[in-house]
Structure 1
Amino acid sequence: MAQKGKKKETALGAEMSRFAAGVTGVAMLVLLFVYPLFITDQSYSNILRVKYKFFWLLVLIMAGLCLLAGLAWFFMDRMEHHGEETRAFAVRIRQTGWKELFTAGEKGLLVFITIALISTLTSEYVYESFWGNEGRYSGFFLLALYTIMYFLVSRFFQFKQWYLDAFLLAAALAGIFGITDYFRMDIMGYKVGVPLETADIFTSTFGNINTFTAFLGMYLAAAAALFAVEKDWRRQLWYFLHLAVASVSLITSQSDNGYLAVGALFISLPFFLFGTRTGIRRYLVILA
């Protein structure tokens, strides 16, 4: 009977963990595929607010659902098993200690977010420091969202290869959109009535050219790394196509950030690839 009860408890906790894994999985898919392409209005005037709102809503919904799952687990355990699984969880925490729950990097993150909170509360401009509305919304609220998302994803998210493929596909579409903007095709009509000298600094689904090239830097790095380590020739071709799109997108973006991203990539790749002849050949292909 005791073993049967233990199995039920384990099944209850596992079910809640699977639910949280599903929530974080959907959130990551939305972030990797939908977010890069999301834009609501046929202009760039509100794109920063739109992207910001999209992100904080996504994180809060994900966190809220995971919190509800945790509360459901707690109350169901109390009703069905008289809190046995909750007590077992508390015992494991006491045995391992709170310090063992976090890696050194995570402890550093917690120290950082604590310092950021103190800085916000002691600021002369508490409202602006919290919301970041005077600096591209990079206030404590956004930093807290980053922290919450990190801990939820690192604890529950179950990585699968197709998440990267979804990101590459979304990035390719955004990159191709940017290439068309370089040729001033304006296929979405976002630049109608905008002066030419101003229109050229806004592009794709990101608006600001520097933000766009920062995104392309991540796209290029992901495509290059995946191409370098992939063994299946079909997936190699898939990643090489993305490598080509990312390269052309960065070139046509005409931003200094793009050159810095390319330089950082080519400096770092040898540390991972030069251990084998295949790695060296792949590096030369990427370099070409």
Structure 2
Amino acid sequence: MSNTKKATETPRLVEKYSTRHAVMNYYLVLMFTVFPLFASNAYFNIRHDKYYFFIALTGVVIIAETVLIYFAYFGNKKDSSSEMTVSNGGLTKKLSFTDWAMLALLVVCVISTLFSKQTTDALFGSLNGRNNGLVLIAFYVGIYFVITRCYYYMEYVFVALAAGSAVVYLLSVLNFCYIDPLGMYAQLDAKTIEDFTSTIGNKNLMSSFICVMLPVVITMSVHTKKTKFRIIYLLSSALGFMALMTADSDSGILGIGVFIVVMLIWYSRKISRLKRYFLCLTVMLASAKILRFFTFILTQSFDCKTKEIDEFQKLFVESDIGFVLIGIAAVITGVLYIIDNKKPTLTLSRAVPIVLGSLFAAAVIAILSAVVYFSCFDTETELGGFASILRFDEHWGTHRGFMWIKLFEIFGDFSFFQKLFGTGPDTFFYAFAPYFTELSKFGDTSTNAAHNEYLNYLITIGAAGLIAYLSVVGGAIVRAVKKSFSNQLSIVCVSAVICYSVQAVVNIAQPITTPLFILFVALTEAVSRRNTGYAELI
């Protein structure tokens, strides 16, 4: 019987690691290590520095990979048919939903640019904007298709990511204590020093960076088979949580908070995964207390100062509740390790993630219902510190409420064509200019972003552009979830996509952290294209 099966079974084709794979992995290593740290002149022009770094490096890789693909596919037809019909779906595999959505996004942005009143700004990125012009979007699309066709999993890329992001995190922690080893603060005033950190930029951008990189190292600490790599991931996770505390931005808390809950639900059935998840959680919670001890030594022994953090972060760093959370996480971790040692194949009931998911959904609905109630029906009750969360008005979210309310007025006044295609990529400054006088009552004379990526896209590239963008992100997430049961790397890559997408509700697209997000959208799709899983690799 077995001999008959072997005789009739078609051997599975295994893709060989080639030059194009090596080029792609070296590119990813540079983007995960050098790119976040690159700054030519402290914080001055840091956005432009990273923009040109990304454009230059990505341009070279797109050209190189195009040449390599051409010779691999057309150079030797006999060999290429076996090489290209490989486990990653091959170059000739039909376009996926996400592929089509990415192409649609590019087409919409081209139309939006051509018909924009500020065509040059829409093409190259406005001097009053965030460098998010058509050129940058085109490079996003280009590298997406190159990665999805040329990626080959090698764990050293993720180890490099963990190490590179750890350096960024460490600099953020040192900057929190006004320790400036790179001399980034030398020419800055006191207010700017309070807001800027590490080699990323202001605290919101640092939170955005954390929301891309930290989920990846957390999930890799769960899935890797190599203990020495798990230690690196855990150390990076610890420094990442410290940086999240010092970044002092609600967007980071929102993104990582949702990620933590989603991963708890995802890992809740399999004890072997759940134990490592709680181990990482314990390490991160403990790191907040290490941060407190570190700052205590500096302030008491060396008469140093530290920056301020919000009350929520103080809950983990300064409050005794932090010790309680560490104790609970540590006990759960220990129990799970004991259970897994005795019953290594134990899988919990399907009811567990369903119950946890239902509780999470109920909590989200309850919060949204409270926001609607206190914003629309009860606007008088004093909410104290919760007012900034539960009462949406012009002052909500550091006057994000004012901007979002006005945005819908702007969109309502658009022509039908503008409703579809917007005012042009990166032209938010011009669209919002009529409201700058009113904005001044909040202390700002102008703004070039909605501080909500989705509303920003609605204004700049219209409803068609927003739908295309949501289709790219949603398509990558849905396909990754479907593949993740047989393909563990899917959940690693999509974790960054989910976390960034959540924080984007209150943050900004820019060439400092958004390129890293696009890389993970591409990696998520690249992994999903495979016909076989990565279960044997991590």
The alignment's TM-score, normalised by the length of structure 2, stands at 0.45
| SS, match of residue 18 in structure 2 | helix
- What is the letter of the counterpart of residue 117 of structure 2? E
In structure 2, relative to structure 1, the CA distance for the partners of 1:279 and 1:40 (3 Å cut) is same
Q: 2:270 aligns with which of 260, 273, 276?
A: 276
- What is the letter of the counterpart of residue 129 of structure 1? A
- What is the letter of the counterpart of residue 203 of structure 2? I
- Rounded to whole Å, the distance in 2 between the matches of 1:217 and 1:181 is 19
In structure 2, relative to structure 1, the CA distance for the partners of 1:244 and 1:73 (3 Å cut) is closer
Question: Which residue is 1:182 aligned to?
Answer: 176
Higher relative contact order structure (alpha carbons within 8 Å, sequence separation ≥ 6): 2
The runs of 5 or more residues in structure 1 that have no matched partner are: 1-13, 93-97
- Rounded to whole Å, the distance in 2 between the matches of 1:193 and 1:69 is 45
Q: 1:139 aligns with which of 133, 144, 154?
A: 133
- Rounded to whole Å, the distance in 1 between the matches of 2:94 and 2:250 is 41
Question: Which residue is 1:107 aligned to?
Answer: 100
Question: Which residue is 2:51 aligned to?
Answer: 52
- What is the letter of the counterpart of residue 123 of structure 2? F
- Rounded to whole Å, the distance in 1 between the matches of 2:92 and 2:64 is 26
Q: 2:261 aligns with which of 258, 267, 270?
A: 267
Segments ≥4 residues shifted beyond 6 Å = none
- What is the letter of the counterpart of residue 111 of structure 1? A
| SS, match of residue 242 in structure 1 | helix
Q: Does 1:124 align with 2:117?
A: yes
In structure 2, relative to structure 1, the CA distance for the partners of 1:233 and 1:166 (3 Å cut) is closer
Residues 204-254 of structure 1 show CA distances to partners (whole Å, capped at 9, x for unaligned) of 111222111111122221122122233544333322212111111110111
The Cα shift of 1:193 comes to 3.7
Moved more, 200-209 or 271-280: 271-280
Does structure 2 conserve the Cα–Cα contact (< 8 Å) formed by 1:228 and 1:273?
no
Q: Does 1:148 align with 2:142?
A: yes
Equivalent positions of 1:10-89 (< 5 A) are 18-41=18-41, 43-69=42-68, 77=75
Q: How many residues align?
A: 260
Residues 59-107 of structure 1 show CA distances to partners (whole Å, capped at 9, x for unaligned) of 1111122334456668x85xxx8xx67xx89xx9xxxxx9952111111
CA RMSD of aligned residues (A): 2.8
Q: 1:206 aligns with which of 178, 200, 209?
A: 200
Question: Which residue is 1:7 aligned to?
Answer: none
- Rounded to whole Å, the distance in 1 between the matches of 2:22 and 2:229 is 26
Q: 1:161 aligns with which of 126, 131, 155?
A: 155
Does structure 2 conserve the Cα–Cα contact (< 8 Å) formed by 1:251 and 1:258?
no
- What is the letter of the counterpart of residue 53 of structure 2? F
Determine what percentage of the aligned residue pairs are the same residue: 22
In structure 2, relative to structure 1, the CA distance for the partners of 1:100 and 1:277 (3 Å cut) is closer
Does structure 2 conserve the Cα–Cα contact (< 8 Å) formed by 1:132 and 1:139?
yes
The Cα shift of 1:165 comes to 0.4
Question: Which residue is 1:4 aligned to?
Answer: none
Does structure 1 conserve the Cα–Cα contact (< 8 Å) formed by 2:163 and 2:232?
no
The alignment's TM-score, normalised by the length of structure 1, stands at 0.81
Name the one with the larger helix percent.
1
- What is the letter of the counterpart of residue 48 of structure 1? R
